[in-house]
Structure 1
Amino acid sequence: MTEQDPAQTSAHLGATPEERARIRTYPFDPRTSVSGVGIQVGPMGTEGPWAGGADLSRRVHRIDFHVLLFFRAGPVHHMIDFAEYEVGAGDVLWIRPGQVHGFSATEPYVGTVLTMQPGFLPRSIVEATGLYRYDRPPLLHPGPDQLAALEASLAQLQREYLDTETLPLSLHTNVLRHTLTAFMLRVAHVSAQAAADECRPQPDTTFTRFRTAVERGFKTNHSVSAYADELGYSRRTLVRAVRAATGQTPKAFIDRRVVLEAKRLLAHTDLPVGRIGVAVGFPDSANFSKYFQQHAGTTPAVFRAEQV
């Protein structure tokens, strides 16, 4: 999962057209985990975002797994989906699968990192912990008591992760799942508070299935009715579930995901605007430009120019 950073100049000297035309996606590699399990826990390093785990490039990229960074020093400036977050000691940064982000090229990352493969936790825990609540802020500021509890829980998780001698692999993996569940429930509580969601109903399976379907199909399908038919729900049921979970209509949720992907490609690749439109479901360049301007408040060309 290592990659030499080609972005030595603003022109990405040495990068091929293919490299410049896509955002590099890093998969979770269980081969780098202790015993090949679906999580990694280790210290962040200074010769890359962290040591003992995935050495991700400083270049802007996306991941297909969860990353939780627990900082013991700061400030550090980290970019996630066009927002820059200033992170200090005691803060937690939660980066979810599919998000585009970039590490600071000059500031050291000091603390502990947890990476988690999608599917490692059962669906009931995924729902309870809000693993895919993209509406929640990635930057968390635990209070002193919360931080102490998180640190103790994380330390226990790291001990279980490194203990490969006292249990057979199957039991070791189950213990890790239970320990990770306890830890993630604590993180989820801080996340819910950060988003002021403790008084809002949690997303039910209807919303979770819709979000998964949108993530899988937004590049070609922008129709609420089509998603409702695919999932076997009435349009009214889908509207209620999505509004309860996000405060948005299903159409607004789809549009937001389409525009986010377009912004990522405009900002972080050299693809022509027309090809970006095709990539998010608009074969006609004029229709894409009109759609983007309606939802982003500016044209694709102007948005791209502002990112330089």
Structure 2
Amino acid sequence: MTGRTVQGDGGDGIRTFRFPVDRSVCGVGMQVARMGDHTWHTDAPLHRVHRIDFHVVMLFAGGPVRHMIDFAEYEAGAGDLLWIRPGQVHRFTRTSEYRGTVLTMQPGFLPRATVEATGLYRYDQPPLLHPDPAQLGALRAGLGQLQREYEDITLPLSLHTAVLRHSLTAFLLRLAHLAASSAEAARQQADTTFTLFRDAVEKGFATNHSVSAYADALGYSRRTLVRAVRAATGETPKGFIDKRVVLEAKRLLAHTDLPIGRVGVAVGFPDAANFSKFFQLHTGLTPVGFRAELR
């Protein structure tokens, strides 16, 4: 497809591609096509980061496919969907073979009530969706029906557009339900993951400061742990561990007369100099200075 391009918002230099309504059947505000037959624009280097001002839903028939959305990498397989919303930046992977069906939709094609009901602008929901067999069957059927209606130009334009809006709404309602369910499941998983991590840190912070070691012990990938801890606390796993170590060090410095070196050993620093550097980095005071301020 061809179309106009503009520079990215905020002067970030990322090219923004408009929805090419002139290439749609009958000029309607949506398109459905096979991925192999579909590109955003003939002059678009899709393997580079770019922004779109329209919705994209890709239903994959094969995989794995790696795709970057808002600087996070996602891996999709057969039966998975990727939902990219207006304003998000993304990038195709040259080495991935994109097979399946792609739906694009111009903002404003659906009425406001439908937009709200389908959560079209819920940027907090995950872009990668994994429907179960029943959900996938319904989504495939809905998308197939939408594609048939899109390619059927026997109706007058006003009726053709009305039918497309109804078919698109039905598909998006199913997709929105899947997205909302996936987001809730992800939150529950994040809560469980963080709770297990928090408990493990409480037991092991005096000897274990390694994020990878905690991830391995809990059976999670480092990326999963990072997402869970960030969702629960707003900080990284490393930051969470360090805060717990600093808290314990402060307690020992304030309430005991242990030498500085012994305090360091008690929180996992056999070398007193390394403990002092760590403590000062996180508090702005040396251990000696911290203790002196309290006494």
For the aligned pair, the TM-score class normalised by the smaller chain equals: 0.5 to 0.7
Q: Which residue of 2 aligns with 1:31?
A: 22
Q: Which residue of 1 aligns with 2:38?
A: 51
Q: Which residue of 2 aligns with 1:126?
A: 115
Q: CA deviation at 1:89?
A: 0.4
- After TM superposition, the structure 1 = structure 2 runs for residues 134-149 of structure 1, keeping only pairs within 5 Å, are 134-149=123-138
Q: Does 1:41 align with 2:32?
A: yes
Runs of 4 or more off by more than 4 Å in structure 1? Answer: 52-56
Q: Which residue of 1 aligns with 2:182?
A: 194
Q: Which residue of 1 aligns with 2:215?
A: none
| Deviations, residues 135-175 of structure 1 (Å, cap 9, x unaligned) | 0000000000000000001000000000001x100110001
Q: CA deviation at 1:51?
A: 2.4
Counterpart contact for 2:146–2:167, Cα < 8 Å: yes
Q: CA deviation at 1:52?
A: 7.0
Mapped to 2, the partners of 1:197 and 1:51 lie a distance apart of 32
Q: Which structure exhibits the higher relative contact order, with contacts defined as CA atoms closer than 8 Å and separated by 6 or more residues?
A: 1
Q: CA deviation at 1:105?
A: 1.1
3-state SS, counterpart of residue 184 of structure 2: coil
Higher helix share: 2
Q: CA deviation at 1:33?
A: 0.5
3-state SS, counterpart of residue 141 of structure 2: helix
The answer for unaligned runs of 5 or more in structure 2 is 4-10, 188-230, 235-295
| Deviations, residues 211-234 of structure 1 (Å, cap 9, x unaligned) | xxxxxxxxxxxxxxxxxxxxxxxx
Q: From the CA coordinates, give the structure whose radius of gyration is larger.
A: 2
- After TM superposition, the structure 1 = structure 2 runs for residues 205-244 of structure 1, keeping only pairs within 5 Å, are none
Q: CA deviation at 1:106?
A: 1.4
Q: CA deviation at 1:82?
A: 1.3
Mapped to 1, the partners of 2:97 and 2:165 lie a distance apart of 30
Give, as a single letter, the amino acid of the residue that structure 2 aligns with 1:148.
G
Q: CA deviation at 1:2?
A: 4.9
Give, as a single letter, the amino acid of the residue that structure 1 aligns with 2:135.
Q
Counterpart contact for 1:32–1:54, Cα < 8 Å: no
Mapped to 1, the partners of 2:63 and 2:186 lie a distance apart of 29
Mapped to 1, the partners of 2:178 and 2:137 lie a distance apart of 13
Q: 1:114 aligns with which of 94, 103, 106?
A: 103
From the superposition, tell whether residues 54 and 144 of structure 1 become closer, same or farther in structure 2 (CA, over 3 Å): farther
Q: Which residue of 2 aligns with 1:291?
A: none
- After TM superposition, the structure 1 = structure 2 runs for residues 90-101 of structure 1, keeping only pairs within 5 Å, are 90-101=79-90
Aligned identity (percent) is: 65
Mapped to 1, the partners of 2:70 and 2:35 lie a distance apart of 22
Counterpart contact for 2:2–2:23, Cα < 8 Å: no
**TM-score normalised over the length of structure 1:** 0.55
| Deviations, residues 231-276 of structure 1 (Å, cap 9, x unaligned) | xxxxxxxxxxxxxxxx9xxxx9xxxxxxxxxxxxxxxxxxxxxxxx
Counterpart contact for 1:70–1:92, Cα < 8 Å: yes
**TM-score normalised over the length of structure 2:** 0.58
Q: Which residue of 2 aligns with 1:275?
A: none
Q: 1:63 aligns with which of 48, 52, 57?
A: 52
Q: Which residue of 2 aligns with 1:76?
A: 65
